[in-house]
Amino acid sequence: MATGNLSRKSGVITGEDVLKLFNYAQEKEFAIPAINVTSSSTVVASLEAARDKKAPIILQMSQGGAAYFAGKGVANDKQQASIAGAVAGAQYIRSIAASYEIPVILHTDHCAKKLLPWLDGMMDADEAYFKEHGEPLFSSHMIDLSEEEVDFNIQTTAKYLKRAAPMKQWLEMEIGITGGEEDGVNNEDVDNNSLYTQPEDILNIHQTLSAISPYFSIAAGFGNVHGVYKPGNVRLHPELLGKHQAHVKEKSGSKKAKPVYLVFHGGSGSTKGEYKEAISHGVVKVNLDTDLQYAYLTGIRDYVLNKKDYIMAQVGNPDGEDKPNKKYFDPRVWVREGEKTMSKRVQEGLVDFNTADQL
């Protein structure tokens, strides 16, 4: 049982509990879906799915998603909307997560070099929260310097891990570019060779970061691409992850069969077989976003199409010219339809990644 050795069984978990959960995931060969949330509505849809499938979940905010949480009308020239939105979203998630009686990892997504002020601002909030509560506001963050030189990537990641270490905060980093486009970062035209991480780089990262803290994971490229593409257009090689694990185990002398906590980015549209093989090689987290955006839309789209004649005016519908339509256009009605279809798709991911029934 995933919560068996956790000090906190439900709500947002941090520090040693995150490490224990990821160790358990590797042992039982499941990965935890990381859901990009942009509102209280998408948070609720995700938490409902995890609760109903008896599974842990990761809720994460991207820089753009965090800004949306603050409101599109807030200036963001210095990342102020993204910082405020991330903190507000984190506080909301912390307030509501325990009600769903599942463990939740509170995470932030890709932070490229140009977005480091966003990460700095969030870690300021983490340190303030830690001073008061003995744990950071966020369970973890992701720093993504995969487009930079390898040495800069590793050394800058190490600098941030040193800042996170006193709080026992997890840090995810990326080496090897994830193709496609997401949240304004476009890697659609990169050289395919850049999509595949080399074992020597994984070893270098592991040795450098292990000397600072055990609380880190690596998103290693094995052909991953953000977005959904036609079958055959994306060539994933999850077997490379097994080679990374073997190389690190041999060179580091680790007693663990899978010494590296790996992350699967660009998961939307991948086959169940690709997920299963990647997870067998120590992947503990799989990002889901594109599929869920579409799933959320479908519930609202279908509602609007089916109820079109009941939402064209506040009064008057096929049942009578004087019939009120409030029960049809109330946002709680049609937004809920999006939550239902998104939640259903999250549940599919929980089954596909073997996360369901782990609690």
Q: Which of 33, 15, 13 is nearest to 358 (CA)?
A: 33
Torsion of CA 170, 171, 175, 179, to 10 degrees: 100
Q: Which of 91, 86, 100, 104 is nearest to 132 (CA)?
A: 91
- Residue 79 sits at φ, ψ, to 5 deg, of 70, 15
Q: What is the DSSP string of 247-273?
A: HHHHHHT-SSSS-S-EEE-S-TT--HH
* 3-state SS, residue 115: helix
Alpha-carbon gap, residue 22 to 214, rounded angstroms: 12
The two most distant CA atoms of the chain are separated, in Å, by 78
Q: Which of 290, 265, 64 is nearest to 173 (CA)?
A: 265
355: tokens are 């996360």
CB atoms within 10 A of CB 144: 24
CB atoms within 10 A of CB 147: 15
Alpha-carbon gap, residue 340 to 137, rounded angstroms: 29
From the candidates 17, 109, 289, 352, give the one annotated as an active-site residue.
109
Residue 77 appears among annotated catalytic residues: no
Q: What is the DSSP string of 198-258?
A: -HHHHHHHHHHHHTT-S-EEEEE-BS-BSS---TTSS---THHHHHHHHHHHHHHT-SSSS
Q: DSSP character for 123?
A: H
Residues marked active site are found at 109
